[in-house]
Amino acid sequence: MKRAIIFFLILLLGKTLFAQWEQCEIHGGGIKFVETNGTRMFAGTFGNGLFISDDSSQNWNRATNGIPESIFPYSIAFNGNEVYVGTTEGELYKSVNNGDNWGLLQTGISSTEPILSIVVVGNKILVAYADSSGVFASIDGGNNWTPYWPNVLIRQLLINNQAIILNTFFDGVYKSIDSGITWTILDLPVVTSSVSLYVFDSIIFAKTFTTFHKSYDLGLSWTACNNPGVITALNKFNNHYFAGVNETPPGITPDVYSSLDGIQWQPMSNGLQNEYITSFVDNGLKLYASTYSGIYSLDSVNGQWMMSSNGISATQVDAFTNIGNSLFAGDVSSGVFFSNNHGINWQQQQFSTLSSEGVEFMTKSNDTIYVGGNAGLYSSCNYGGQWNWLTQAIGYLAVYGIVANGNNIFIATGQGIYKTNNFGNTWTTCNTGLPGLYVSGLVRGANNNLYAAVDGFGLYTSPNNGATWTYAGGGFPGMPYINCLASCGNYLLAGLDYFNPPVVYSDDYGASWLVGNNSLFGLTVRKLKTIEDFCFAATNGGLYYTKTYGAEWIDATGNLPGNPIAIGNDHEYVFVSVEHYGVWRRLLSDFNIVVTCERPPIHPLQVYPNPFTEELILTTPEWEKPGSIKIYNFSGREVSNVNTIEFPVTLNLGNLSPGIYLLKLQQGDKVYTYKVVKE
């Protein structure tokens, strides 16, 4: 009997002690460049290392053996089987066997700025730094370095089989046609300090924000080209030029353009709509584009761009949210990814601005997802199938917190708190009583009050939906430096910067604050995430959780390979984004968490016919309860409303344009949403 009890206890303990995190790879992510050397391809990511492919980009593997997995490769160059990679930290790595093994070169160069470019000229290697230290040269494979073009701020260092081009910010543009022995000034078609150059044999393109020129003779004469927009990458393949375009003149669609002569340009972005292109390269058979969301290859037969990032895990998820077991992950450079099978497979959501501006915060309200980032606030009411830009009326404000409840949506920004009750058609400021406008966090407490973290001033609360605010720091000395907020049951938790311990909690809605145990002492808390009555903390020293509302913290890091930066969940798993190592998951049952099933409010309203042409009929058994109806288009603008109705009712909507609309029924404090289609 004793043995049976002991065995049972071992099993019980083992479930917690030996439960492991498992990785849920999201393929793709931000790619700085893609290049080829022979049959091998190299992809540099935004802070997630270097990847290599030996099968024309069908599969990728992370480069290891001497090169860190967390570097940000910024530039690359080849000299036979020698490969040189420059990083954003000014480090230079070298491989002598085409990327199989690597070593860090001790250059002796003091700059820690990015290595903008590397060129190989015969036995000479040139590296250009992003600061005024300029260009350095080595003639012994990178062992020793001497100043080559010092004390100059470099924009570009380019090379092809006919010339080297040195483009500076303030000292002009120079070219050399004798391997850098002598240099001459390159006369540009416009006088400017902000020109980008692209070199193909004897052809040079010169691009400013508003002008675009081409030279057939290495800059001796210039021809004006049709301006497709702000070019981020340019390459030549199969006698055609391809340009990645970010911002464009009015009326011009962004993305990828092609041209036979480089003068007249046509869009050809099938499969690359609204993608920020960072580079092009070809391997003689196909053209490839690196973007903020991965690598794409061009099918020259049908002109379609296809994702080609299998094996690249270069995302950095900064936020999660879920509707039931439908999980959404927001990446800092690639927008939103969606999974409906607990993170096993992911699909990137296609919407333009956040794909390049990134996601900082996500939340939900009933069946609507809200996503905040550097471009403002977006929403989707159909699981990410369509996204609406809600902050168009107030422009590009970075969003650091979202509270949504029915029609009322609040956002925390660097310019204060804004509120809308008509899905972004209009916004009002809610800053009365706030001592500052940089609001780094926003939550709603169990008492229905709003709580806002004001940078440098602490915690403030509003009992009247943002009309007025009062201090809620309770005199705690670390409260002016709040990093993150969470509401957990009847408790509030605050992650503090520059204070130990880094998390404090309040059991009286901010009137006073308490300190838990010292498990988090010395750490910095990046995010707090509430799952039922548990709260998880992502710190620079691992993942922790509390089941006592902050009084005691338990280490849950386990086999996570790095520091967590975001936490989410569905109904079965908790998900953690790990810096440089992607998304990981673990069963909620490992923590004895049972998620209450979310069910959107059910209302027996019948809406017909749907689709409709002129009239929409609404019936419900609850006729004795009057209500109000508002109809919004998918841009969030109110197009029709009836303040007081009794059911059944017939709405005459013949004046609406064909399209998809949201019908919102409000009865008392309950709001119900329906999608209707006008034909």
Sole residue written with tokens 């070593």? 103
> Highest-confidence range of 118-122, 251-255, 306-310, 494-498, by mean pLDDT?
118-122
The answer to whether residues 642 and 651 touch, using CB atoms and an 8 Å cutoff, is yes
Q: By percentage, how much of the chain surpasses pLDDT 90? A: 51
Q: How far apart are CA 257 and CA 67, in angstroms?
A: 35
Percent of the chain with pLDDT over 70: 90
Tell which CATH classification among 3.30.390.10, 1.10.357.10, 2.60.40.1930, 3.40.50.10320 matches the domain 606-678.
2.60.40.1930
With cut-offs at 50, 70 and 90, classify the pLDDT of residue 624. Answer: very low
Residue-level pLDDT at 677? 79
Q: Is the pLDDT of residue 604 over 60?
A: no
Q: What is the pLDDT of residue 1?
A: 45
Q: Has residue 529 got a pLDDT over 60? A: yes
Euclidean distance between CA atoms 276 and 353, whole angstroms: 10
CA count, 13 A, side-chain hemisphere, 296:
25
**Paired tokens of 608:** 């017909």
Q: Give the model's pLDDT for residue 9.
A: 40
- Give the lowest-confidence range in 137-151, 345-359, 515-529, 587-601: 345-359
pLDDT surpasses 60 at 386: yes
Least confident of 30-44, 263-277, 429-443, 555-569: 263-277
Task: Grade residue 13 by pLDDT with cuts at 50, 70 and 90.
Answer: very low
Q: What is the DSSP string of 453-497?
A: EETTTEEEEESSTTS--EE--TT-TTTTSEEEEEEETTEEEEEES
Q: Is 519 helix (H, G, I), strand (E, B) or coil?
A: helix
Q: What is the DSSP pairing of strand 28-29 with strand 313-314?
A: parallel
8 A C-beta contact, residue 232 and residue 244? yes
Residue 16 has φ and ψ, to the nearest 5°, of: -85, -45
Residues of the chain with CATH 2.130.10.10: 314-591
Q: Is the pLDDT of residue 601 over 80?
A: no
Q: Which residue has the higher pLDDT, 552 or 647?
A: 552
Spatial CB neighbours of 317, under 8 Å, sequence gap ≥ 6:
26, 329, 330, 331, 332, 337, 565, 566, 577, 582, 583
CA 73 remoteness from chain centre: 18
**Any bridge partners for residue 158, and if so which?**
165
Residues 159-200 have pLDDT tens digits of 988 899 999 998 889 999 998 889 999 988 887 668 899 999
Q: What region does 136 belong to: left with phi over 0, alpha with psi -120 to 50, or beta?
A: beta
Q: Higher-confidence residue: 538 or 640?
A: 538
* 301: three-class secondary structure by DSSP: coil
How open is the CA angle 351-324-578, to the nearest 5 degrees? 65
Mean pLDDT over residues 44-61, rounded?
A: 93
The pLDDT-based confidence of 351 (bands split at 50, 70, 90) is: low
- Nearest Cα residue to 368 out of 672, 26, 590, 32: 672
What confidence score (pLDDT) does residue 544 get? Answer: 96
Asked if 485 and 443 touch (Cβ cutoff 8 Å), the reply is yes
pLDDT of residue 27: 81
- Residue 267 is predicted with a pLDDT of 83
Higher pLDDT, 432 or 659: 432
Contacts of 235 by beta carbon, 8 Å cutoff, 6+ apart = 241, 242, 279, 280, 281, 282, 287
Segment 382-399 shows an average pLDDT of 82
Of the listed ranges 11-25, 375-389, 469-483, 505-519, the one predicted with least confidence: 11-25
Mean pLDDT calculated for residue range 401-406: 88
pLDDT in tens, 287-317: 999 988 889 999 877 788 888 888 888 788 9
R_g (Cα) of the chain, nearest Å: 28
640 — pLDDT class (breaks 50, 70, 90): confident
Q: Which residue in 325, 359, 350 sits closest to 565, CA to CA? A: 359
Amino acid at position 213, single letter: H
Topology of 314-591 in CATH?
A: Methylamine Dehydrogenase; Chain H (2.130.10)
- Which has more confidence, 276 or 624? 276
Q: Which residue has the higher pLDDT, 350 or 517?
A: 517
Residue 644 has a pLDDT of 66
Supply the pLDDT for residue 266: 86
Tokens representing 445 are 């407490």
Q: What is the arithmetic mean of pLDDT over 467-479?
A: 84
Q: Is the pLDDT of residue 251 over 70?
A: no
- According to CATH, where is 2.60.40.1930 located in the chain? 606-678
Tokens for 18?
């030996």
Map residue 677 onto helix, strand or coil: strand
Six-digit token string for 104: 């860090």
- On the question of pLDDT at 397 being above 60, the answer is yes
For residues 506 and 494, what is the distance between their CA atoms, to the nearest angstrom? 9
**Three-state SS for 587?**
strand
CA pair distance 602, 623, nearest whole angstrom = 16
Residue 10's pLDDT is 39
